[in-house]
Structure 1
Amino acid sequence: MRAGDLPLIPDGTEGREWAERELADPRYAAAEPTPLDLLAQAINEMLESLFGAGAPAGLGPAVLVGLALLAIALIVVAFAIWGRPRLSRRTAAATPLFGEDHVRSAADLRREASERAGAGDWDAAIVLRFRALARSMIDRGVVAARPGATAQSFARSAARAFPALTRPLVETASAFDDVRYLRRPGSRDDYERVTATDDAVTAARPVSDEGAAVASGSRS
């Protein structure tokens, strides 16, 4: 083999220049995906993650983008017609309230509160009736059920749905806290105030849907 037939081995600088000249060839730029191709690929990956299968191979990028825009438009229309999804009633009904270990319906709580009030046990009657008030709002989807919520945080969430009843709601939450945690003796007036607030909320129509809001607060 003659010396002229030996392959040329460039040094580092010369090799980099050769590579840059080669990659500058227009055929490489034409092979790169366009922004539309990248968007179509992202949409296809989204469809695959949502439905477990990608889009059919025959669909072009423009068709995929059109389908994605159509899906977004349908979601917007659904929200406009039906509003945001409500909390699952089954999930909400399974949430204990304010340190209560077991779950009872609003009707059961009101019934027992009335029995305790008839026996003059105002402390228990106040606690039970306030829990009935809270349970009723959860069942209606007005306020979100959140483990660990305090009576005051729950009252603030309820007041956003019933602004005209803000003061009674805060006062009944305070009556609950006084009896339940501060060990202050309850009275007939306190129980009647809680009962009146419960009745007023039951008869009122919420001005906003707090079903997806967080009734936050630390457990006392």
Structure 2
Amino acid sequence: MDPSSPDAHDWIRQELVKPEYQAAKPTWFDLVWKAVGDGLAALFQGSGGDAGPVLLAVIVLIVAGIVVAAFFVFGRPRVNRQAAASRRAVLGGVDARTAQELRSAAAAAARAGDWALAIEEQFRALAVGLDERTLVSLSPGTTATEFAARAAAAVPEEAETLREASRAFDDVRYLDRPGTESRYQLLVALDQRLQTRRAAPPAVLT
């Protein structure tokens, strides 16, 4: 076949679009890395002995960029996963939902008239919400009573209501007692108040 003929050109184009040729093409990462390497090489060759400080600054910027990118890509999700995992054994259940997801589940159960489930989900929402705001620290195995005590230390004006909320949770969760709308509404109101509260300042010793 004549290499200069139209048929030869068509054959070459068809051949080059085959997967094995496309796979051999450099990726955008390869191109960026090559550009960085070429720039550093030019810096070495063109600046002579004066390249040291400039090269160091370039390397520091590149490393800093990689660290920042790695933090946002890998670091933050890892923290979220660890925080979610720490809540999985909290309050007698396996759960990694957010406070807002738990509130939605509680509201759905309330609309269905399942007050026991609504109370359980709403109490979890309350606990996880305070944990997300770092007002109370939850750990695997934390009970409703322990959570109420920790929360009362952070928000002492709600201590009695928190104890009542923990009793409502224990009643439906462990004692199989029927939930009531009034107890569910108590939890909802408490959760709404706590969303606007700040932790009590530490006592000043004199």
Question: Could you state the TM-score of these two structures normalised by the residue count of structure 2?
Answer: 0.57
Count of aligned pairs between the two proteins: 122
Displacement after TM superposition at 1:208 (Å): 4.3
| CA contact 1:160–1:208 (8 Å) conserved in 2 | no
Instruction: Tell me whether 1:131 sits opposite 2:124 in the alignment.
Output: yes
- Counterpart-to-counterpart distance in 2, 1:172 and 1:139: 19
Instruction: Tell me whether 1:169 sits opposite 2:162 in the alignment.
Output: yes
| CA contact 1:92–1:145 (8 Å) conserved in 2 | no
**Residue 147 of structure 2 corresponds to which residue in structure 1?**
154
Larger relative helix fraction: 2
| CA contact 1:93–1:138 (8 Å) conserved in 2 | no
Instruction: Tell me whether 1:143 sits opposite 2:127 in the alignment.
Output: no
Matches within 5 A, 1:1-220: 90-95=81-86, 96=88, 97-208=90-201
- What per-residue deviation string (whole Å, max 9, x for no partner) do you get for residues 152-187 of structure 1? 011000000000000111100000000000111100
Q: How many percent of aligned residue pairs carry the same amino acid?
A: 42
Q: Which structure ranks higher in relative contact order (CA pairs < 8 Å, sequence separation ≥ 6)? A: 1
For 1:193, what is the secondary structure of its paired residue? helix
- Counterpart-to-counterpart distance in 2, 1:89 and 1:132: 17
| CA contact 1:93–1:139 (8 Å) conserved in 2 | no
- Counterpart-to-counterpart distance in 2, 1:208 and 1:110: 28
- Counterpart-to-counterpart distance in 2, 1:90 and 1:206: 25
Distance 1:208 1:152, change over 3 A: farther
| CA contact 1:92–1:138 (8 Å) conserved in 2 | no
- What per-residue deviation string (whole Å, max 9, x for no partner) do you get for residues 111-160 of structure 1? 01001100100000000000000000110111112111110011000000
Which has the larger Rg?
1
| CA contact 2:155–2:199 (8 Å) conserved in 1 | yes
Q: Read off the aligned partner of 1:115 and give its amino acid letter.
A: A
Q: Which runs of 5+ in 1 are unaligned?
A: 1-87, 210-220
Q: Which runs of 5+ in 2 are unaligned?
A: 1-78
Distance 1:103 1:166, change over 3 A: same
Question: Could you state the TM-score of these two structures normalised by the residue count of structure 1?
Answer: 0.53
